[in-house]
Amino acid sequence: MKKLILLPCLCIALLAAAQKAPKPAITVEVKHNGVSHTVQEGDTIHLGYGSTPYGSFMFVENGAPPQGMLKQYGGKSGLVTKVKYWKSIDQYQLYIKVPGAGSYVVNVPQAVDKDEVIGFNQDWYKKN
């Protein structure tokens, strides 16, 4: 009976001690106006201004259903918290946090092409 109790305890201890190899960080290469940058978690993202007729953002969004970031947050900078690749649609998304505005999802490369994102870290695609 003691052996039956000892075996599951030993298995649990071995499983708890086993370590998985860490996943490599996902990065995305963003190019615009001859400037390229490899984006990864922890990078600073610089936002331009919205591309809709009302000034809000079209490709920087949050919520369900997705709603664009309000125009009042244009020109701010934030932090990239996650880089995600959607294989089914062959697209990257950046999860960002903007102080005072909240968390948003950036659709790459559309946001860069529409100048809603104007740079990362010290690399600027367009100066406002």
What does the DSSP assignment read for 64-80? TTTEEPPGGGTT-EEEE
Residue 64 in this model has a pLDDT that exceeds 90: no
Asked if residues 108 and 94 have their Cβ atoms less than 8 Å apart, the reply is yes
Tell whether 3 is covered by a domain: no
Residues 6+ apart with CB under 8 A from 121: 37, 43, 44
Asked if residues 61 and 114 have their Cβ atoms less than 8 Å apart, the reply is no
Q: Which helix or strand (DSSP H or E) is residue 48 part of?
A: none
Decide which of 47 and 5 is more confident: 47
Provide the pLDDT confidence category of residue 102 given band limits of 50, 70 and 90. Answer: very high
Tell whether 2 is covered by a domain: no
Full domain range(s) for residue 86: 22-124
Q: Please tell me the predicted confidence (pLDDT) of residue 11.
A: 65
Residue 87 in this model has a pLDDT that exceeds 80: yes
Residue 56 in this model has a pLDDT that exceeds 70: yes
Mean pLDDT of the chain: 86
Number of domains present in the structure of the chain: 1
* Rounded alpha-carbon distances, angstroms, from residue 79 to 11, 62, 100, 105: 41, 15, 12, 11
Tell whether 119 is covered by a domain: yes
Burial class (CB in 10 A: 0-12, 13-18, 19+), 119: buried
Tell whether 59 is covered by a domain: yes
Tell whether 27 is covered by a domain: yes
Residue 128 in this model has a pLDDT that exceeds 60: no
Tell whether 46 is covered by a domain: yes
Tell whether 43 is covered by a domain: yes
Tell whether 17 is covered by a domain: no
Provide the pLDDT confidence category of residue 21 given band limits of 50, 70 and 90. Answer: low
Which percentage of the chain shows pLDDT scores above 90? 59
